[in-house]
Structure 1
Amino acid sequence: MRLPSNRIQPHRTRARVCQAQVSPTRAASRRNRPPDVINATFRTCSQTFFPSERDTLNSVENDELIDWQVAGATARGLARPGPAVSRAGADRAVAELRACAVAAEEHVRAFTGLEVPAADRPVLVVDSHSWVNANLDVMRTLSSPLVEKVRQYREGVPSGALRSTANTVGAKLTGAEVGSVLAFFSTRVLGQYDPFGADGGRLLLVAPNIVRVERELGVHPPDFRLWVCLHEEAHRAQFGAVPWLRDHLLDGLAALVAELDLEPAQLAVRMREAIRRYARPDERAPAGAPAERVDSEPSAVTRTGRRSLLDLVRTPEQRAAMDRLTAVMTLLEGHATYVMDGVGPLVVPSVAEISREFARRRNTHRIRPDALLRKVLGLDAKMRQYRDGERFVRSVVGEVGMDGFNRIWTSPNTLPTMAEIAQPAAWVRRVPLRRG
């Protein structure tokens, strides 16, 4: 990884920052491809199209924890329509979002020095249904260690019609819960980088939601669209420039689940409790109190009285696996926040206004590919990490510069521990600068 010489140019004119340039040949090529339809109004020309639920979720076979067909049908049935936009307005919004994603990539690269291979650059401007399909894929990938754990447990348990019926009913109930959560967020999430796609990472921009929110906030659309892209592009830079990071996260999740001592019935109950709490985070809050954040504090878990799978974590091995996974999450989100805060004032003229207005509604927009599974596992109980992560990155960059900080991406061994995130100087001492 090298730091490119073309540094960010502050406050480019808005027309240049996110102006879409489409050649006639490219436009003709796009017309020949089947368009995504965004809530019957937005039309995109995505490079990749999400298959229908019939293709993606045709059979769950022994995957008895969640009925993905029920989850998808529930989410798509409950998702609300997007804002009223003319065909021309939708086309302009889609084109500008694509251009903003390209601009954000250059800004983040110049700020971080992280080079993303060309093969890992798909930008998909999608509607709420396509977002649901994408996140069903994500959740299925992330939940696979839990599924495998249950399968191993059931190998030694006699089968029977009663057990099979109970499993099916439980999976459908959990699928309906998952679908209701996805429906809720499908009209709120603005952008998301998904590193877990079968064909590599992909950046999703949910056009109807972006248009609706920028109208509600009364902010300048080109500035807001670039601002949204910056944070997600920071995540794409992390995974795109560090090819081992995706598998490292998945391995960490598998290691954590492998250490859990659970029965399928216990898992199903904990999972549904967590999903309900995720969907209704403020159901026990006093009238007029702010809704509990998805990234809640440990006290919130205690206050609601609900339990997660990490209530089962008792051994040193279990705690070590949990801490390793939490440390990676801390670093990634803290780094993305630091990048967004660093680049935004340089390239988004109205960033102060956007940040101020958006802060008033931030509890309703943030969702990450692993957020629901974190809730199920109980990792959200340690989500102070996002603030801790940003402080860690800021401290290390302040001491050794961005080049010095980027040593963190060398290998899994150079990632910080939770103790080092609390004490950044300890990481600097452990991973010294290379001397030429």
Structure 2
Amino acid sequence: MIDWQSAADAAKAATEPGSLDVPAAEREAYARDVREARDAIRTVSGAEFDVPDTIEIQNRHHWIDANIATFERVMGTLESQVQTGTFPGVARTVNTGTMTVLLAFLGRNVLGQYDPLLLAETPADDHALYFVRPNILNAAEKLDVDADRFRRWIAFHEVTHAAEFGAAPWLSDHLETRMEDGIAALSDGSFNRASFRELDAAMTVVEGYAELLMDHAFDDEYADLRRKLDERRQGRGPLQQLFRRLLGLGLKERQYKRGKNFFEDVVSARDLETASLVWEGPAYLPTHDELDEPELWLRRVDR
């Protein structure tokens, strides 16, 4: 369906890689931010978890190379089942062009990424942590914020995701199953609404809980950072706004806000320990209705 190598090569040809001339002191600063984020989040959440052994400081081309394998792995379920159409060459060219645009756009915009490596074939390579240095520096400059402080804030956010997957060993399998079921249905020409709703609800919890831990663990004021990022997203041009909608980034932002509101309500009514019940098992995840009415979830799971 997709010529993956051509998509990666074309995306990199259309994207300035950015410098990776990283001074030793800055490399240590990245490592220190991750260590301190891990320690602070362990203290706040009470969760025992590890961060990846290798923290990758990437340029944009490195990020594209790292993620092309993820896209290929996730799409493999669909690719193995879809029948070739009447004009397979044309379809493959269009699909490859679409993937090229997606990779190039994301490669220029992603700041940091905790990757649980869903559907990975090698269990030992179960997670990774990336920082796209040129994008972090570029965003800090455009937002007119201190680059070191901004980098630290990004580190805390990504490490919260490591905490979530560490606290809930079942989470990867839960997401993978819903993803595979949804893609398999698409390959049969149908839409598995239940799988995608459950996947959306789970990712809303993942993003919302990360925001909750950020609020409790980050050791500096961050409201200005969040406000400026929101203003930057809203101030994008029409073409960029279109790309964001096509790539589902508007959905991700909705997950942030909806999940954050859910957990704020839970903590206000109970406490952080009660909010952490979501990681007890899949049955403890809120449904779509419960995300909008946290009191329903509290009545169901609060002990």
Decide which of 77, 96, 103 is 2:13's aligned counterpart. Answer: 77
Shift of 1:363: 5.5
Deviations along 1:42-82, whole A, 9 cap, x unmatched?
xxxxxxxxxxxxxxxxxxxxxxx221011111111111142
Aligned with residue 229 of structure 2, among 358, 380, 405: 358
Change (3 A) 1:127 1:145: same
Tell me the equivalent position of 2:47: 114
**1:383–1:147: structure 2 CA closer, same or farther, 3 Å change rule?**
farther
TM alignment of 1:335-346, pairs within 5 A? 335-344=209-218
**Structure 1 residue 206, shift from structure 2 partner:** 0.9
Q: Is the 8 A contact 1:129 1:186 kept in 2?
A: yes
Q: Tell me if the contact between 1:117 and 1:241 (Cα under 8 Å) persists in the aligned partners.
A: no
Measured after TM superposition, the shift of residue 415 of structure 1 is 1.1
Alignment partner of 2:169: what SS?
A: coil
Superposition pairs of residues 69-108 of structure 1, within 5 angstroms: 69-82=5-18, 87=21, 90-108=23-41
Return the alpha-carbon distance in structure 1 between the equivalents of residues 252 and 134 of structure 2: 32
Alignment partner, residue 145 of structure 1:
77
The answer to whether the 8 A contact 2:145-2:225 is kept is: yes
Q: Distance in 2 between matches of 1:420 and 1:135?
A: 33
**Amino acid corresponding to residue 258 of structure 1 in structure 2:** A
- Corresponding residue pairs, total: 291
Please name the residue that 1:41 is paired with: none
Question: Residues 364 and 67 (structure 1 numbering): CA distance in 2 closer, same or farther, change over 3 Å?
Answer: farther
Identical-pair percentage: 32
Structure 2 unaligned residues grouped into runs of 5+: 237-242
Q: After superposition, what is the alpha-carbon deviation per residue over 1:286-322, rounded to whole angstroms, capped at 9, x for unaligned?
A: xxxxxxxxxxxxxxxxxxxxxxxxxx54xxxx33222
Counterpart of 1:135 in structure 2: which amino acid? N
Equivalent residue for 1:32? none
214-223 vs 121-130, which moves further: 214-223
Separation in 2, partners of 1:224, 1:428: 35
**Inter-partner Cα distance in structure 1 for 2:157 and 2:2:** 31
RMSD of aligned Cα (Å): 2.8
Q: What TM-score results when the alignment is normalised by the length of structure 2?
A: 0.84
Partner of 1:66: 2
Aligned twin of 1:404: 274
**Pick aligned residue for 1:129 from 53, 61, 67:** 61
Deviations 1:153-212 (A, max 9, x none): x3xxxx8xx95xx32442233122212221222122110111116311111111122122
Change in 2 beyond 3 A, CA 1:92/1:172: farther
Mapped to 1, the partners of 2:146 and 2:252 lie a distance apart of: 35
Q: Is the 8 A contact 2:78 2:186 kept in 1?
A: no
Query: Which residue, out of 137, 151, 172, partners 2:93?
Result: 172
Within a 5 Å distance, the mapping from 1:262-277 to structure 2 comes to: 262=188
Superposed displacement of residue 383, structure 1: 6.2
On the 8 A contact 1:191/1:206 being kept in 2, the answer is: yes
8 Å Cα contact 1:128-1:206 kept in structure 2: yes
1:315-330 alignment, distance < 5 Å: 318-330=192-204
Task: Kindly provide the CA deviation profile for residues 211-248 of structure 1, in whole angstroms up to 9, marking residues without a partner as x.
Answer: 22223333223211111111111111111222211121
| Secondary structure of 1:361 counterpart | helix
Larger radius of gyration: 1
> How does 1:296-315 map onto structure 2 within 5 Å?
313=191
Instruction: Pick from 367, 375, 387 the counterpart of residue 257 of structure 2.
Output: 387
Query: Which digits, 9 at most, give the CA deviation of each residue in 1:118-168, with x for residues without a partner?
Result: 6x4432111111100111122122223322331xxx3xxxx8xx95xx324
Partner residue, 2:239: none
How far apart are the structure 2 equivalents of 1:128 and 1:167? 31
Tell me whether 233-242 or 140-149 shows the greater mean CA deviation: 140-149
In 2, Cα distance between the equivalents of 1:168 and 1:320? 33
Amino acid at match of 1:149: Q
Q: Deviations over 1:70-96 (max 9, x none)?
A: 11111111111426x8x5x64333321
CA distance in 2, matches of 1:364, 1:203: 29
Deviations 1:397-422 (A, max 9, x none): 22232222222111111111111111
Question: Partners in 2 of 1:208 and 1:338 — Cα distance?
Answer: 27
Map of 1:279 onto structure 2: none
Unaligned runs of 5+ in 1: 1-64, 264-311, 366-371
Corresponding residue number in structure 1 for 2:134:
208
> Residue 220 of structure 2 is aligned with which of 340, 348, 360?
348
Deviation of residue 379 (structure 1)?
9.9
Is 1:188–1:364's contact at 8 Å kept on the other side of the alignment?
Answer: no
Alignment map for 1:414-429 (pairs within 5 Å): 414-429=284-299
